[in-house]
Structure 1
């Protein structure tokens, strides 16, 4: 790749947001944005990300023989450490500034990235809250969810339960049939509005809070649903005392060397945007 192409694909330029968009995110806990990455950028990075995901795919059973979590997707994290090319994507200033603007914070760090590839015949992703896994006591977390390939209506994108980010910790159930049933009943019982943004193009993105309840349907098609996610946390946070084995595991994995009370700023959590 030429030096000119490298500069182009660094994605350092800004994606402007207006007050209506930031207000909507603050109210709903989720938002849909179009053309966050260009077709050219996505075409290049899709190839890089897919190569790593296929190499590191840990599944050794057919989809039909896995549990609910295993059926949901191929999941590979911290790709930014495995490729200098993917590092440019994950640490892109353009994405990070959107995250900071939506949360209304001065700067953001990476928590980690995850490729989530839903295979042909892959199962649904149950209702859940991301942040039950994260050793952080804050509402200043956000995930960018960006398709690398077209996602037609029949494959489906995520559904969000609007306003649930304001509730914080609702229950401790991890992604499972139980979480889908319990949170689904909670959402229906409270009459909480559900939003699905429908078909998405490569380079479109949704952003949602760590506490926003969300789910996704299965993949009934013969095509892989390829999605890349990046999780951001506000700069200046501290690591919370883990209150579950999952949070203890996440502390060791994503905040290596950090103890409760330490800044949430290990070498795996670089500062990717700051207004200062």
Structure 2
């Protein structure tokens, strides 16, 4: 296995165009090409996939799982269990992009997640990520990066443009009900639905925590391997949890902290600061 110090550093800085930043802030999502190179992905994909294999405890066949279970294999905080993956998750390059898109001076990690959609895996229902997070802010963002080419047949996630401007729309967790109700909401409001289609490994979408999104199933015979990193603005404070989902996230991702505390536990390192 590669030593962490011999892996690509990913700590250079990429400059965004004003058009890319403006698109993200208006639409709540943006696609950026070649955020990581093919050589960088070749170095990190086997390490991330091995960590997913090692930590995955899903043993039910697809047909016996609920909608959420069919959507993907989900493994979080890989950076904590693998120094090699930490080099990817904590990369300054990715973090600066997140900070620049949000227009903040610094960002911390909320957590990372590998989302591997199995061959024949189901769709991901419409939802807002931030209903799970005990934060009252619009300064959160997720990087979603495929580690393998994603064909047009699968595509990226589907985003409801400008939905992030509405803030907290519903407390519904990812479920059949959220897909039906929020899907009707998107259609009823006449929102633009954007799927960026085929992506190369190392391309990445970035979307705001309040942006409504879903993802199609995987009709192919290949695993859709995606790594995500969630960033929050430095200096945020934890909000009073108003749901079980947020109470659980407070315990899991902000251990030892309470409402009103700075959102800065040891699990939330500062990964970029312009100061």
C-alpha contact (below 8 Å) 2:4/2:84 kept by paired residues: no
Question: Does 1:134 pair with 2:133?
Answer: yes
| C-alpha separation in 1, matches of 2:5 and 2:133 | 39
| C-alpha separation in 1, matches of 2:175 and 2:97 | 31
Partner of 1:220: helix, strand, or coil? coil
- Displacement after TM superposition at 1:3 (Å): 9.0
- Displacement after TM superposition at 1:15 (Å): 1.6
| C-alpha separation in 2, matches of 1:210 and 1:263 | 19
Partner of 1:110: helix, strand, or coil? strand
Structure 1 match to 2:157: 158
Structure 1 match to 2:68: 69
Task: Give the TM-score, by structure 2 length.
Answer: 0.98
- Displacement after TM superposition at 1:56 (Å): 1.1
Number of residue pairs matched by the alignment:
274
C-alpha contact (below 8 Å) 2:134/2:241 kept by paired residues: yes
Cα deviation, 1:193-250, whole Å, max 9, x if unaligned, reads 0111000000000000000000000001110000000000000000000000110000
C-alpha contact (below 8 Å) 1:156/1:219 kept by paired residues: no
Cα deviation, 1:87-115, whole Å, max 9, x if unaligned, reads 00000000000000000000000000000
Cα deviation, 1:40-75, whole Å, max 9, x if unaligned, reads 110111000000101111211101110000000000
| C-alpha separation in 2, matches of 1:83 and 1:21 | 32
After TM superposition, what 4+ stretches of structure 1 lie above 2 angstroms from structure 2?
Answer: 1-6
Structure 1 match to 2:77: 78
| C-alpha separation in 2, matches of 1:186 and 1:256 | 35
Task: Give the TM-score, by structure 1 length.
Answer: 0.98
| C-alpha separation in 2, matches of 1:3 and 1:28 | 37
Residues 3, 42 of structure 1: alpha-carbon distance in 2 compared, 3 angstrom cutoff: closer
Structure 1 match to 2:229: 230
| C-alpha separation in 2, matches of 1:275 and 1:15 | 13
Partner of 1:207: helix, strand, or coil? strand
Aligned CA-pair RMSD: 1.1
| C-alpha separation in 2, matches of 1:240 and 1:2 | 39
| C-alpha separation in 1, matches of 2:173 and 2:201 | 29
C-alpha contact (below 8 Å) 2:102/2:139 kept by paired residues: yes
Q: Which ranges in structure 1 are unaligned for 5 or more consecutive residues?
A: none
Structure 2 match to 1:46: 45
Residues 183, 3 of structure 1: alpha-carbon distance in 2 compared, 3 angstrom cutoff: closer
Structure 1 match to 2:145: 146
- Displacement after TM superposition at 1:16 (Å): 1.3
Partner of 2:107: helix, strand, or coil? strand
Within a 5 Å distance, the mapping from 1:175-194 to structure 2 comes to 175-194=174-193
Residues 110, 149 of structure 1: alpha-carbon distance in 2 compared, 3 angstrom cutoff: same
Partner of 1:43: helix, strand, or coil? helix
Structure 2 match to 1:265: 264
| C-alpha separation in 1, matches of 2:58 and 2:155 | 23
| C-alpha separation in 2, matches of 1:242 and 1:80 | 26
Structure 2 match to 1:169: 168
- Displacement after TM superposition at 1:154 (Å): 1.0
- Displacement after TM superposition at 1:156 (Å): 2.3
Structure 1 match to 2:273: 274
C-alpha contact (below 8 Å) 1:74/1:118 kept by paired residues: yes
- Displacement after TM superposition at 1:5 (Å): 3.9
